Amino acid sequence: MENKTEEEVSIIKVSSLTCIDLDNSDLHQSAVLLKQACLDSGFFYVINHGISEELKDEAFEHSKKFFALPLEEKMKVLRNEKYRGYAPFHDSLLDPENQVRGDYKEGFTIGFEGSKDGPHWDKPFHSPNIWPNPDVLPGWRETMEKYYQEALRVCKSIAKIMALALDLDVDYFNTPEMLGNPIADMVLFHYEGKSDPSKGIYACGAHSDFGMMSLLATDGVMGLQICKDKDVKPQKWEYTPSIKGAYIVNLGDLLERWSNGYFKSTLHRVLGNGQDRYSVSFLLYSRRIFSHKPNLIDIISQKSSFYQTCS
């Protein structure tokens, strides 16, 4: 034990998370489970979500094909001022106090496409996406657009249970001003290398997401860790494993603010083990932050220009 660093000792176990069945007709029963999960860790699994394994596998295959392209080809779709497109390795720095350089990951962001005649066209997280050359990656855009819509559908289903868990009407979040045509980003990630916290090297530094909730799919390679209590020193980190057929969901800062701190967004990070690791993170915001909370979009824009989220 004396040869281990404090950081290594603090990683105590593999986390055990609540599993929410989205096919359960008793939404109130699911809400009780979800509420406890949100109070315990802010992370949980969802099963029977309706996203086929075939579509998920296809999305991951296309993601791998993109990241396998030469850097010169990927740089043709470099992330623009609307935060769409490719972000190279070390582009994001999530935990500057503990990291010696940017995250050992690369990403590609696909977002909500608003109408050019709409009132939010000039706002961040709107406007057309940028896509890889279809001659280079045929079918890539079609697969990603289909997966995006499926992930959005699942998040709206979770939002119903979330509303009940907060003692609200079941459709509280599924209104035009909240999740009607919501703002949402889907980010493909590729991690590589081996992390060494004692040297400040992370696949993805510690952070909390800044949206309402995030829906995460991974390729099964271990790496995601959560810290249930960020105020305890030293911080205790737990690995969160993937479960076949399930998605990992975590709360974001926006829901913490909406719930007046009752539900909390949770610190998480990724440690690389030398294997390539791929994930797809779907980050759900809300139109309300644009129509009623203009200060929040300024905060989100600043954070987005500084880093991308992960998992």
CATH of the domain at 85: 2.60.120.330
Which position has the token pair 């281990």?
4
- The reply to whether 6 falls in a domain is no
Q: Is the alpha carbon torsion for 85, 117, 122, 215 positive or negative?
A: negative
Contact 292, 177 (CB under 8 A): yes
Domain containing 171 equals 19-305
Of the candidates 211, 213, 241, the one whose C-alpha atom is nearest the C-alpha of residue 157 is 213
Average pLDDT over residues 100-115: 89
Query: CA-to-CA distance for 246 and 19, rounded, in angstroms?
Result: 8
151 vs 16: which has the higher pLDDT: 151
- The reply to whether 310 falls in a domain is no
- The reply to whether 4 falls in a domain is no
277 vs 121: which has the higher pLDDT: 277
DSSP single-letter state for residue 76: G
Contact 153, 52 (CB under 8 A): no
- The reply to whether 12 falls in a domain is no
Q: Residue 107 pLDDT > 50, yes or no?
A: yes
Between the ranges 93-97, 255-259, 272-276, 298-302, where is the mean pLDDT highest? Answer: 272-276
At residue 16, the pLDDT reads 76
DSSP single-letter state for residue 196: B
Q: Pseudo-torsion of CA 181, 242, 220, 212, nearest 10°?
A: 20
pLDDT bin (cut points 50, 70, 90) of residue 229 is confident
Instruction: Give the count of domains, the chain.
Output: 1
- The reply to whether 183 falls in a domain is yes
Tokens representing 59?
């999305």
Q: For 59-78, how does the pLDDT look when each residue is reduced to its tens digit (9 = 90+)?
A: 999 999 999 999 999 999 99
- The reply to whether 11 falls in a domain is no
Tokens representing 31?
């809400």
Contact 211, 293 (CB under 8 A): no
How many separate helices (H) and strands (E) can be counted in the chain? Answer: 8, 13
At residue 24, the pLDDT reads 95
One-letter amino acid of 291: S
- The reply to whether 182 falls in a domain is yes
- The reply to whether 216 falls in a domain is yes
Q: For 178-218, how does the pLDDT look when each residue is reduced to its tens digit (9 = 90+)?
A: 887 778 999 999 999 999 999 999 999 999 998 899 999 99
pLDDT bin (cut points 50, 70, 90) of residue 116 is low
